[in-house]
Amino acid sequence: MSDTGSTERSDIASVFPSFPADDAGPATVPTPDVAPDDRPAKAAGGTTGTATKAGPGDTTKTDPGELGRVDPKDFEQPFGRPGRPLRGNPFLFGLTAALGVLTAWLLVQAIASAGSALVLIIISLFLAIGLNPAVEALQRRNLSRRTAIAIVFGGVIAFFVVFGLAVVPPLTEQTTGFVQHLPEYVQQLQNHPLIRTIDDRYQVLSKLQQYVTSGDLASQMFGGLLGVAGIVISALFSGLTVLVLTLYFLGSLHSIKETAYRLVPRSRRTRVRLFGDEIIRQIGGYVAGNLIISLIAGIVTFLFLSVLGVPYALALAIFVAVTDLIPMVGAVVGAVVASGVGFLTSIQVGIACVIFFIVYQQIENYVISPPVFKSSVDVPPIATIIGALLGGALLGIVGALLGIPLAAAVLLLVREVVFPRQERV
């Protein structure tokens, strides 16, 4: 062996120290045992890849230099082999857990901050699913989807326009008249004997009249009107946002469903698609049925109030129709407001309104609602109450509206997935 080779080996040994040999002599630099034709050389005993020596009795002996060879992988890692991963390190575990908790907390805060926007998105998607059956019904009459969406959406906009024209002018007129005639109302109260006795003792009416005629009421009313104006502007902006989002969701509902289904593994995609389509069908049927029932309630109320000569019959009928969409309590709220206006007209008209709404609610609950909801949402009464209560507690009126169809979806999954699985166990 030449001096050049010895020098190279000494340099390599200084960088990569050799492992101690087990009494087999000094360590040697590994040299691959490769035949000239790049195939492992075979020894006489049939072994490959090792240098052997044939001894007496055909016994093979391993070359002593083989025991002291260094693993060739050590030359590929100049800084040594990596140690075991720190899987059991308590510091690393604590750091990972802390980062997970921090991420979850930031996510909750982000959802809470965007709560109002999420509610608008949920309402828009809910309305889009509810209007989709009407769009599909128009499509079955050989209309394109764009034309059907335009017709349905035009009807929704027309409803809101009629609602605004029917409610805003009378509300403005009554508010203005009440403010203008408030001093006269105070003066009329002084003619009542009981109120006059209380006023003589506590001077209530005189203080009230002084407060009304002073400038404090005007300033407070102006500030209150500014606050009301801010609320109205915010409500108008939210309504416009809901309309725009509903239009977009209605136009791209099919693509949204297909994208959601593609997130499911292929082996379960067919079953998830069937469940998803059925849930969407039930939600759409519930919304469409609820709109039909509310429309019937509004038309019947308008006819009844018009016959009795109740003022602002159209506005009251639209209010009754809108509140009738709210489960459990909506119909009662609409009936109380309409009956109150009836009592302001006359006691007889008020009593007639109370009787009318009591009778109509029974007809709606037992005659109109069952056939409308029979083919769309099949939910037991107890599930309806629980869904409406939980939804109302979580998201208010929006949650109460969503509670019943979501309860129907949960019952569908329990009936078709949970129960069969429990029977196989």
> Has residue 15 got a pLDDT over 60?
no
Q: Distance between CA 195 and CA 342 in Å, rounded?
A: 26
pLDDT band at 279 (very low <50, low <70, confident <90, very high): confident
Angle among Cα 70, 72, 73 to the nearest 5 degrees reads 115
> Has residue 305 got a pLDDT over 80?
yes
Return the pLDDT at 353.
92
Provide the 3-class DSSP secondary structure of residue 57: helix
Is 45 in contact with 58 (CB distance < 8 Å)? Answer: yes
Angle among Cα 417, 419, 425 to the nearest 5 degrees reads 105
Is 138 in contact with 152 (CB distance < 8 Å)? Answer: yes
The verdict on pTM exceeding 0.75 is no
> Has residue 2 got a pLDDT over 60?
no
Q: Distance between CA 146 and CA 126 in Å, rounded?
A: 19
Return the pLDDT at 25.
46
Radius of gyration of the chain (CA): 41
pLDDT band at 9 (very low <50, low <70, confident <90, very high): low
Least confident of 224-238, 289-303, 410-424: 224-238
Return the pLDDT at 44.
42
Provide the 3-class DSSP secondary structure of residue 34: strand
Q: What is the mean pLDDT of residues 239-243?
A: 86
pLDDT band at 158 (very low <50, low <70, confident <90, very high): confident
Is 213 in contact with 182 (CB distance < 8 Å)? Answer: no
Return the pLDDT at 70.
54
Return the pLDDT at 352.
92
Count other C-beta atoms under 10 Å from residue 262's C-beta. 10
Q: What digits encode the pLDDT tens for the residues 52-100? A: 444 444 445 545 555 455 555 555 667 777 766 666 677 777 888 899 9
Is 332 in contact with 253 (CB distance < 8 Å)? Answer: no
pLDDT band at 103 (very low <50, low <70, confident <90, very high): very high
Q: What digits encode the pLDDT tens for the residues 407-416? A: 888 888 888 8
More confident residue, 384 or 252: 252
